Amino acid sequence: MGHTFPSLPICVGLLAIGALGYGISIWLDLLALRDLGAAREAVLFSTAPFVGALFSLVILREAITPQLLVAAGVVLLLREQHSH
Protein backbone atom coordinates (compact mmCIF):
# COMPACT_ATOMS: atom_id res chain seq x y z
CA MET A 1 0.00 0.00 0.00
CA GLY A 2 3.04 2.25 -0.02
CA HIS A 3 3.16 2.94 3.71
CA THR A 4 6.48 2.94 5.51
CA PHE A 5 7.12 0.68 8.48
CA PRO A 6 7.12 2.51 11.84
CA SER A 7 10.42 3.21 13.50
CA LEU A 8 11.91 0.74 16.00
CA PRO A 9 11.00 2.78 19.13
CA ILE A 10 7.39 3.03 17.99
CA CYS A 11 7.24 -0.72 17.26
CA VAL A 12 8.72 -1.56 20.66
CA GLY A 13 6.25 0.76 22.38
CA LEU A 14 3.30 -0.77 20.54
CA LEU A 15 4.45 -4.28 21.35
CA ALA A 16 4.84 -3.33 25.02
CA ILE A 17 1.34 -1.83 25.15
CA GLY A 18 -0.12 -4.93 23.48
CA ALA A 19 1.72 -7.32 25.78
CA LEU A 20 0.67 -5.36 28.87
CA GLY A 21 -2.98 -5.21 27.77
CA TYR A 22 -3.04 -8.89 26.86
CA GLY A 23 -1.30 -9.86 30.11
CA ILE A 24 -3.74 -7.87 32.22
CA SER A 25 -6.64 -9.43 30.31
CA ILE A 26 -5.41 -12.96 31.04
CA TRP A 27 -4.72 -12.12 34.68
CA LEU A 28 -8.25 -10.73 35.16
CA ASP A 29 -9.68 -13.77 33.37
CA LEU A 30 -7.85 -16.10 35.75
CA LEU A 31 -9.12 -14.13 38.75
CA ALA A 32 -12.66 -14.45 37.40
CA LEU A 33 -12.18 -18.19 36.92
CA ARG A 34 -11.08 -18.57 40.51
CA ASP A 35 -13.77 -16.35 42.05
CA LEU A 36 -16.78 -17.05 39.80
CA GLY A 37 -16.19 -20.54 38.45
CA ALA A 38 -15.75 -21.66 34.88
CA ALA A 39 -19.37 -21.40 33.71
CA ARG A 40 -20.01 -17.88 35.00
CA GLU A 41 -16.61 -16.69 33.82
CA ALA A 42 -17.30 -18.03 30.32
CA VAL A 43 -20.62 -16.19 30.16
CA LEU A 44 -19.04 -12.91 31.23
CA PHE A 45 -16.03 -13.35 28.94
CA SER A 46 -18.29 -14.03 25.95
CA THR A 47 -20.06 -10.67 26.40
CA ALA A 48 -16.89 -8.69 25.60
CA PRO A 49 -17.54 -8.36 21.84
CA PHE A 50 -21.05 -7.09 22.49
CA VAL A 51 -19.86 -4.57 25.06
CA GLY A 52 -17.27 -3.40 22.52
CA ALA A 53 -19.92 -3.06 19.81
CA LEU A 54 -22.18 -1.07 22.13
CA PHE A 55 -19.23 1.13 23.12
CA SER A 56 -18.45 1.83 19.46
CA LEU A 57 -22.06 2.82 18.75
CA VAL A 58 -22.71 4.96 21.82
CA ILE A 59 -19.34 6.51 22.63
CA LEU A 60 -17.46 6.49 19.32
CA ARG A 61 -20.58 7.17 17.21
CA GLU A 62 -19.71 4.43 14.70
CA ALA A 63 -22.18 3.51 11.97
CA ILE A 64 -24.29 0.36 12.10
CA THR A 65 -22.72 -2.18 9.71
CA PRO A 66 -23.82 -5.60 8.45
CA GLN A 67 -21.23 -7.21 10.75
CA LEU A 68 -22.81 -5.50 13.74
CA LEU A 69 -26.23 -6.77 12.71
CA VAL A 70 -24.85 -10.32 12.53
CA ALA A 71 -23.57 -9.89 16.08
CA ALA A 72 -27.06 -8.80 17.16
CA GLY A 73 -28.41 -11.99 15.58
CA VAL A 74 -26.00 -14.03 17.66
CA VAL A 75 -27.36 -12.36 20.79
CA LEU A 76 -30.87 -13.42 19.82
CA LEU A 77 -29.68 -17.00 19.31
CA LEU A 78 -27.99 -17.02 22.70
CA ARG A 79 -31.20 -15.89 24.39
CA GLU A 80 -33.16 -18.84 22.99
CA GLN A 81 -34.78 -20.99 25.67
CA HIS A 82 -34.57 -24.75 25.25
CA SER A 83 -34.54 -27.85 27.41
CA HIS A 84 -32.63 -31.09 27.22
pLDDT computed for residue 80 by the predictor: 73
Mean local confidence (pLDDT), 43-62: 86
41, 33 Cβ separation under 8 angstroms: yes
pTM: predicted TM-score of the whole model, two decimal places: 0.55
pLDDT band at 82; cut points 50, 70, 90: low
Domain assignments of the chain as residue spans, ordered by start = 1-45, 47-84
Residue 58 has pLDDT above 90, yes or no: yes
